[in-house]
Amino acid sequence: MFKDVREYLELLEKNGYLDRRTDEVKLTSLPHQLELQEKKGNAVVFSNIKDYKYGLFNNLFGRREHLALVFDCPKEKVVDVFGERMEQRIKPVMVDDAPVQEVVKMKGEFDIRDFPFIQHGAKDGGRYISAGMVIAKDPETGIRNVSFNRMQIKGADKTGFRLSPTQDLEAYYKKAVALNKPLELAVVIGSHPMCQLAAACGPPRDVDELEIAGALRGEPIELVKCKTVDLEVPAYAEMVLEGYLNPGELEEEGPFGDFMGFYIEVFPNQVFHINCLTMRKDPMVQVIRAGSRDDITLLGSPREAQIKKALENINIDVTAINIMITGNYLTCAIAIRKQYELEVKNALMAAFASFKFLKNCIIVDHDVDVFDPADLFWAMSTRMRPEQGLLVVPHAMGFGRDKYGIHTTKLGIDATAPFNEWQEFERITTFNPDNEV
């Protein structure tokens, strides 16, 4: 597989999935440009940003076809290939020299504001590092964790830092606080796409996401030791910010336009202090708008594989799955080949149990297109029996940031036809004379 994000971009370009913008653009105009690019679906590189030396890329995961190209399979099979590889492990390997350390700048020698990180939402609190892949180690066990966290730029070498209550990283931070020690971090920008997908997998705490990245890639991820913190980072990334979170240090952060399409209010979050910046000689920065197709494909692809596996473990014949149907990963549509009348409720419960953020799940027959909202509504209109086809689960764990209790009840919908009555529900097709023998 390709060595780094640059080779990935070349692969996309070769197959018509990348646009290169060489015309001069203002930093403040980029959010709108990226919104237009998202509708097109292609990845994009902006190489001529006014008043900035370095370029920017976006939309690595703008559509499923990108991952189908990587995994050499039809887009409908991406979930299967992803799921198979996600269960495997290939340990990283260490290297001494790395492109990501071609340039090393210590505190006082760099200003992160010189890089074209952008303010995505009109009411965001400022510019954000929105595609930073964060590497840390458990202060007690040394187990590595990789995650995504937003960072509001607050100075030359300082950012706000959002810890999610459900992340392993927050557990690591709490341990560091108990030990009264800073938690060392390395923020990787422009890493291998398989590293980014692995960082979104959310495996058990004793699993190293970089071993999953190796399995997704089909070969080990090359790592290099950081310069100022006891961590290792992907050698072929674009840039790394080395630093730490002080125990108990909080500052106001936000507002921020999050993946649900709302602004998160201002509230106290951690502070990331940067000791050192390492980078390529000509780095590009990556940006991801929360809630974009880029973001949801990155975060949703591992969840589709996770849910599908959970259903297959109880012998549900899953023919298709789509957790991106509503532009986030809170609602999932699943097509199955029904084997028993009552198995749909079991499938719904398995789906909810496998991914706690999942709020709504609709299950349809194998002849319904889970990628077409109109077809899903057709199944609900013509096959759902509400008196027995709705599963409501109150007081369940859901998305964590929920002060109004919107995500603590789950809704399951059985929109399948009655079992063994297929002759009554077979869909109309047209006669194709070209198939006549």
Three-class SS state of 108:
coil
Q: At what angle do helices 293-312 and 78-86 cross, to 10 degrees?
A: 70
Looking from the CA of 57 toward its CB, the CA atoms found within 13 Å total 23
Structure tokens at 130: 């929105």
For residues 193 and 131, membership in a common domain is answered with yes
Beta bridge partners of 20: 45
For residues 125 and 200, membership in a common domain is answered with yes
One-letter identity of residue 198: A
Per the listing, tokens 């899903």 go with 376
For residues 187 and 329, membership in a common domain is answered with no
For residues 282 and 327, membership in a common domain is answered with no
| Residue 301 is assigned to a structural domain of this protein | no
Beta bridge partners of 35: none
Confidence at residue 167, expressed as pLDDT on a 0 to 100 scale: 85
d(C-alpha 129, C-alpha 135), whole Å: 15
pLDDT in tens, 249-283: 999 999 999 988 899 899 999 999 999 999 999 99
Structure tokens at 83: 């799921």
For residues 264 and 407, membership in a common domain is answered with no
From the CA atom positions of the chain, what is the Rg in Å? 23
| Residue 221 is assigned to a structural domain of this protein | yes
Structure tokens at 11: 């692969």
Other CB atoms within 10 Å distance of the CB of residue 174: 14
Beta bridge partners of 285: 56
| Residue 434 is assigned to a structural domain of this protein | no
pLDDT in tens, 159-168: 999 998 778 9
Helix, strand, coil shares, percent, the chain, to 5: 30, 25, 45
| Residue 418 is assigned to a structural domain of this protein | yes
Whole-model pTM: value is 0.94
Confidence at residue 166, expressed as pLDDT on a 0 to 100 scale: 76
Q: What is the mean pLDDT of the chain?
A: 95
| Contact of 55 with 46, CB cutoff 8 Å | yes
For residues 22 and 145, membership in a common domain is answered with yes
Three-class SS state of 133:
strand
Q: At what angle do helices 209-217 and 78-86 cross, to 10 degrees?
A: 130
| Contact of 331 with 361, CB cutoff 8 Å | yes
Mean pLDDT of 356-381: 97
**Residue 321 domain boundaries:** 314-425
Task: Inform me whether the pLDDT recorded for 436 exceeds 80.
Answer: no
- Give the pLDDT band of residue 437 (cuts 50, 70, 90): low
- Give the pLDDT band of residue 301 (cuts 50, 70, 90): very high
Please tell me the total count of domains within the chain: 2
For residues 144 and 234, membership in a common domain is answered with yes
β-sheet with 390-393: strand ranges across? 318-322, 331-336, 360-365, 410-415, 390-393
CATH number at residue 44: 2.30.110.10
| Contact of 263 with 257, CB cutoff 8 Å | yes
